[in-house]
Homo-oligomer: A and B are copies of this chain.
């Protein structure tokens, strides 16, 4: 068994566990910084390790287009290519085909699409996607699925589910058949879809669990639906996922989203928010967000967050970081990205401790109260 459930909070569904992967153990709940193009934007691997990141995410769609399988294969996989020795989870590319590519067309056998970069034509099957992830040497692989847009008709979602479930089976078969993946014994997760239809979410969860995977993801959320619906789907669906496997909520979210999802029993999260918003000068703190471009911080000698131990907070003032954004200096993007990643990791580390000590409900109340203060 790759996953050990250490403790479930007495008063909520929140869980603490350990997931064993080929490149090391991950303590759940866990936040996975997004390394879209083989780099977590603006940061080095050393900085991520200092932030406490145990695993990062890579995007198959982007890596497939650039630098492509040949370059990564020649480097001996994504870990070596990008100089990152800890675990990597890679998505299947399904979400980016859905959100980025042009002229995409779903067929029974796979996705036909054109690259958003140069219009080049591609056809990706579930088998090819698993094969590409074995070239990457991913520790945790995701099967190709269709991420249905919001809103979608019930008929469309039902038809889409059939394809997603069939692709899930084919992906599992392909990984089993692939005898010599670069990373020995990679994990493969199943993805539950079903749009905003709770009964379809239930059906999808049951069918995916029935196929049997190393972990289970909830996909197709945070695609434009209201926040409450994200939470309703997550909370409802999580209940159908086996307790002895890790549960991954894909692409979510804000600190609040993550806290609520942990309450619902989810374990793993990835989101571009800390880095993307960081590059826009938005810093996360325990009392809410700061927009560091704001003239309010012109001479503010305080760090972003006085309780934070990141490099930015130990060495630099809000005034200095504002100046960096004001003068378009790249160091500003680095410092706030770094701080935000550290904030997310610290948050989730504190949550884990609270779960282990059966005080997550109180932690959550205090967290929401403080965050609203700002």
Interface residues in chain A, defined as those with a beta carbon under 8 Å from any beta carbon in chain B: 37-39, 41-46, 66-67, 70-71, 74-75, 81-83, 298-299, 301, 311, 315-317, 319-320, 323-324, 326-327, 329-331, 333-334
Contact = CB atoms under 8 A, between A and B. Distances in A.
A320 B67 CA distance: 9
A59 to B, nearest CB: 12
Contacts of A42: 330-331, 334
A117 to B, nearest CB: 9
A38 B83 CA distance: 30
Nearest to A43: B331
Q: How often does this chain occur in the complex, in copies?
A: 2
A6 to B, nearest CB: 33
A299 B66 contact: no
Contacts of A323: 37-38, 66-67, 71, 81
B82 A39 contact: no
Closest 8 CB pairs of A and B: A74-B299, A83-B315, A67-B323, A37-B327, A42-B330, A39-B331, A39-B329, A83-B316
B301 A74 contact: yes
Contacts of A67: 298, 319, 323, 326
A313 to B, nearest CB: 11
A325 to B, nearest CB: 11
A71 B298 contact: yes
A299 B76 CA distance: 11
Contact of A299 (B71, B299, B319, B329): B71
Contacts of A75: 299, 301, 317, 319-320
Contacts of A41: 329-331
